[in-house]
Amino acid sequence: METAKSYALPQLPYGYDQLQPHISKEQLTLHHQKHHQAYVNGANAILERLDKARKEGADFDVKATLKELSFHIGGHLLHSLFWANLAPAGKGGGKPTGTLGTALEKEFGSFDRFKKEFSLAATSVEGSGWAALSFCRQTNRPIIMQIEKHNTNVYPMFTILMVIDVWEHAYYLDYKNERAKFVDAFWNIVNWDEVNKRLERIFK
């Protein structure tokens, strides 16, 4: 058994200016260093509270605490997936090939149809949330999730292959209230190699 540790903010696999013009340096820096960091800190603070309560034999509000913990851990894990499924401008976008390309064509009929459904899932999230492409091992089908906040509507055990953050904090500096413009821009910087690798890992 390995030693328990805290959550940590992952480094971005590219520079803060490398997603421009689709995501500005200012927007990405704020999103990563302030918003993502807040979920890491939030999750760690709750875990520390749990440790303390257990050591002291003290009671705590289990329902409220677990709800809050799910929110912060969900936020941390989804942001970590998001950074990794983006690629520097000029190096991402286009169409997926390989196992993923085939899987999407089989399920949705065409890549364009998938892109349309995923974009609609992203633009229509009520309030703050995410669209995620996931994969169900029981049916061998890719399925789109529309996640509210960081943890609502999640299918337990589905592997998440790709996400887009459509909280306003993800795009307001660049696109103001125009979420659809941000979703359009996202397609230019998707790292399909990474998304395909996540799918292929399922079958190994």
Which residues here bind Mn ion, judged by CB under 5 A?
35, 165, 167, 170
CB of 170 vs Mn ion, minimal distance in Å: 5
Strand partners, 131: 146, 164
Which lies closer to Mn ion via its Cβ, residue 35 or residue 197?
Answer: 35
What angle, rounded to 10 degrees, do the helices at 37-56 and 62-84 form? Answer: 150
Dihedral of CA atoms 104, 111, 165, 84 in degrees, nearest 10, equals 70
Phi, psi (deg, nearest 5) at residue 147: -90, 125
Nearer to Mn ion by Cβ, of 165 and 174: the residue is 165
Q: Least distance from C-beta 1 to Mn ion, angstroms?
A: 33
User: Closest approach of Cβ 130 to Mn ion, in Å?
Assistant: 8
Nearest residue relative to Mn ion (C-beta)? 165
Q: How far is the CB of 41 from Mn ion (least distance, A)?
A: 14
User: Is the CB of 100 or the CB of 163 nearer to Mn ion?
Assistant: 163
**What CA–CA distance (Å, rounded) separates 71 from 5?**
19
CB–CB of 167/98 below 8 Å?
A: no
Q: Which is nearer to Mn ion, 103 or 132 (CB)?
A: 132
